[in-house]
Structure 1
């Protein structure tokens, strides 16, 4: 098993008590905050917006832990000016947000543009630019137009590639004169696994989990590549932007020096990252996946391989936590995707101590050294592409009993950001081409299946008092950090 002293010795210099400052990063390094449309916008039936799969899913009995939905969410649709003002006051350079596909095309089909949706995002973009904040847009953050799911099976149907391409092009044409950073799809793995295998995310399918997640990924990769191809051939030269894909990854640390544990950890990374990056860099899925999944893994045609190859200008990394990985077979209770990996995720060191302090979500532990390892892994495995850390953060449990000042004093989140940012700075020193970092998230918001029970925000949203915004200690820590006045004492 992993010896704590040995591993942590490798990561000296990433101690969260150590001073970390803006000057530890390159001068042009981008610091931003992030959100997604369904989690913050609300106004679900306003401005011509059509329903998404998450509207339907969150209104289905038993799907959301606190029986909530995001019909109103934190109402950014009406309060975007206030939120842009907050981003500016805190000193961030950029705001990563997503566009709701069903605000642009209410049925997803791309036949008639909803001008009210275009106007709304134009207003957001212009408000950001007036404050000197770069808009970084995600085209798809899980909120598929419901019509596409109900009439053709959503990501299970290859036709969706064409619909996504039309939607993407409409966004490039409408906003690309001012938007210079585009992300096609956020965390396609979560859509595929949680949406079509485990079933805990919209559209909540688990009926054919031995095949559907793999087709959902196949079509997401093709949709991503189609959008990139359109951007590069028609818009990039004129607009001067960049386009990438956002993947999520827990670091997988082998649980021991045994060959089978090391192989299991490597396999885990192939199933998380290689599933998407191997096709982009090598034209096909990883051999480890082909061996385990056989014909259940779809095949790319030669023409598709050509389309996919090198279809990113940068990679977005969403990273929160890490695990020890041991080889394990016959894990009967797990979903297909996890079973096929023949591994066990472990959260304890050799002596039984947990891998890091636990946040509110059951899956999230504070493990700063993991992000440096992930970043170095990407650089070594995939020829050091430009990387933006597009999400990183931790959550607190919502509390009905804690007074507001206690909820605002988020000491562990400050420790989390100090430690993870120190590890990112170390990765840059290691030679990894990291160009930016986005904290997740700007605001407390609708946390998918967890509803409003978890709070990831730098800014507290008071759900009981008109959704008023209150910056937490972590927001003020970033304010000082970004102004260059953050010292050892907080």
Structure 2
């Protein structure tokens, strides 16, 4: 069985003296912990039971995105599968929402794709959204409302239009490497809050930002497909700022309490966390590796948007405390695990 091995002297380092990790296999699996007897749990009436998707994964017709281009590059797809061979979800809104209602769901998380609403940079700059694209999301949100299913809207789920990130130009600054992308994202959030805020209260600004950054700019298996720690760090720092600015924009533009709970907008990120264990708990180096990995993966982004504490060089020490542009920019914690 594969195990995650974390050592201080691993092969991957983020800036001098920062995080060092190694992934490997081996070791002896410990005996499983005894499992407690199941107990009955009563959920509160307002508890939301839902499911979730992402636009590129289910919609089709997003060839003009970084992921659409990525999928067309040689060697990126095993077999003959293509993104457009998926369920074509926007053509089946009524039946899909009907199935959700039959299942008893009370919430549905999905993404609104920037590339569908603004297919070109000229469209975005002129604020002339694609009529059919915007109408499809209107139809979906209205159908959910008719069934009493609360929408949870993600405004960036890994995918950028090709005018923001183009994997055919990997040496060029991409996505959140650029300051203008932060401004673009803030504007995008503001427009979506203004358009959908009368029907949407629950928002996710960024889905798993550290996954997108580390897998695209370090592991090189997401667009733009590079391995460069300096570019990775640049992306992560701008992701934090972009989230905070999107948070403010949504609270400014979404002033309608759509679900009647007394709050017009609840905004956060969807965070992917992992539990790290030392390969050898008797070694201080392994224990320190766990601390560093946990700080980098689980705490760095959350501490920034909740406490305003930012570790700018990833050495485990806070460099900026209580940054007023970051602190308190999470109304809930979205946890993927």
TM-score (structure 2 length as normaliser): 0.80
How many residue pairs end up in the alignment? 297
Task: Report the alpha carbon displacement of residue 256 of structure 1 after superposing the two structures with TM.
Answer: 4.3
CA contact (8 A) 2:201 2:257 kept: no
Task: Report the alpha carbon displacement of residue 287 of structure 1 after superposing the two structures with TM.
Answer: 8.3
CA contact (8 A) 2:270 2:336 kept: yes
Query: 1:470-485 residue pairs with structure 2 within 5 A?
Result: none
Task: Report the alpha carbon displacement of residue 147 of structure 1 after superposing the two structures with TM.
Answer: 0.8
1:224 paired to 2:243 = yes
1:13-60: CA deviations, max 9, x gaps?
Answer: 2x6xx46x6x44333221110110000011337xxxxx1100110111
Bigger proportion of residues as helix: 1
Could you say which residue in structure 2 is the equivalent of 1:30? Answer: 48
Distance 2:99 2:311 in 1: 43
Distance 1:53 1:189 in 2: 18
Bigger proportion of residues as strand: 1
Distance 1:83 1:255 in 2: 45
Query: 1:410-449 residue pairs with structure 2 within 5 A?
Result: none
1:250 paired to 2:274 = yes
Kindly report structure 1 stretches of 4+ aligned residues shifted beyond 6 Å: none
CA contact (8 A) 2:217 2:229 kept: no
Distance 1:287 1:144 in 2: 25
Distance 2:191 2:254 in 1: 11
Query: 1:460-479 residue pairs with structure 2 within 5 A?
Result: none
Could you say which residue in structure 2 is the equivalent of 1:117? Answer: 133
List alignment gaps of at least 5 residues for structure 1.
46-50, 320-490
1:41-90: CA deviations, max 9, x gaps?
Answer: 11337xxxxx1100110111111223433124211021122211111111
Could you say which residue in structure 1 is the equivalent of 2:105? Answer: 92
- CA separation of 1:79/1:3 partners in 2, compared to 1, >3 Å: closer, same or farther? closer
CA contact (8 A) 1:2 1:255 kept: no
Match of 1:185, SS? Answer: strand
Could you say which residue in structure 2 is the equivalent of 1:173? Answer: 194
Could you say which residue in structure 2 is the equivalent of 1:57? Answer: 70
CA contact (8 A) 2:193 2:253 kept: no
Task: Report the alpha carbon displacement of residue 286 of structure 1 after superposing the two structures with TM.
Answer: 4.1
Q: CA RMSD in A?
A: 2.7
Task: Report the alpha carbon displacement of residue 288 of structure 1 after superposing the two structures with TM.
Answer: 8.6
1:41 paired to 2:59 = yes
1:318 paired to 2:318 = no
Could you say which residue in structure 1 is the equivalent of 2:9? Answer: none
Could you say which residue in structure 2 is the equivalent of 1:290? Answer: 315
CA contact (8 A) 1:161 1:222 kept: yes
Distance 2:225 2:201 in 1: 34
Distance 1:8 1:24 in 2: 26
List alignment gaps of at least 5 residues for structure 2.
1-26, 167-171, 259-263
- CA separation of 1:287/1:116 partners in 2, compared to 1, >3 Å: closer, same or farther? closer
- The equivalent position to 1:276 in structure 2, one of 295, 301, 304, is 301
- CA separation of 1:60/1:214 partners in 2, compared to 1, >3 Å: closer, same or farther? same
